[in-house]
Amino acid sequence: MKRLTPIAMVAVISLQAFALSTAVQAQQNITFNADKEFLVHKSPTCGCCTGWVDHMTSHGAHTKVQHSDNLADLKADLGIPANARSCHTAITESGYVFEGHIPAKFIQQFLSNPIPDTKGLVVPGMPVGSPGMEYNDQFMPYAVYLLKSDGSLEVFAKVNSLADQT
């Protein structure tokens, strides 16, 4: 059996360390293009929605909040199924829809490579531990769904821990 020379071992370790640090850095530097503005429709009294807006802003998203009187009609007009709704709805200038407490990293992934015949992403309900729904260190696993043009949903990502959100 051949042994690696000390130089080869250092080279292999260096390459692995570089790849790991690049992946970690890319994960921590979630940013949005300056031309992407999110119009966030929410109730004026909802604190968790404000927490989600803060989460998006902290990741470089430009947000504008619209306090809407009739969110149910807006969601219906956008084709968001009743069983997939949450407390706030964000719409990009290009018309993509983001419903609920979706982590910024998944929105960035979607916007970087939009999937044909989809309208956006959805996190139904208000999962504890999702962005804007933080409570101590509690966490409830949840899924991020693709909202397809026909109104159906398909799993885009599973979030099984707090770390999966960053």
Full domain range(s) for residue 109 = 34-165
Give me the number of domains the chain comprises. Answer: 1
Domain annotation covers residue 55: yes
Whole-structure pTM value: 0.81
Q: How far apart are CA 112 and CA 115, in angstroms?
A: 10
Domain annotation covers residue 4: no
The residues, ordered by sequence, that sit 6+ positions from 100 with a Cβ below 8 Å of its Cβ are: 85, 86, 87, 88, 122, 123, 124, 125, 126, 130
pLDDT at 9 over 80: no
CATH (domain of 158):
3.40.30
pLDDT in the model for residue 32:
76
pLDDT at 17 over 50: no
pLDDT in the model for residue 111:
95
Domain annotation covers residue 6: no
pLDDT in the model for residue 69:
84
Of 157 and 44, the structure prediction assigns the larger pLDDT to 157
Domain annotation covers residue 49: yes
Domain annotation covers residue 12: no
Three-state SS at 90? strand
Domain annotation covers residue 22: no
Domain annotation covers residue 128: yes
Contact between 123 and 86 under an 8 Å Cβ cutoff? The reply is yes
Domain annotation covers residue 38: yes
Per the listing, tokens 């992946």 go with 23
For 22-35, write each residue's pLDDT tens digit. Answer: 333 334 456 676 55
Q: Residue 79: how many CB atoms within 10 A of its CB?
A: 14
pLDDT in the model for residue 34:
55
Q: What is the DSSP letter of 19?
A: H
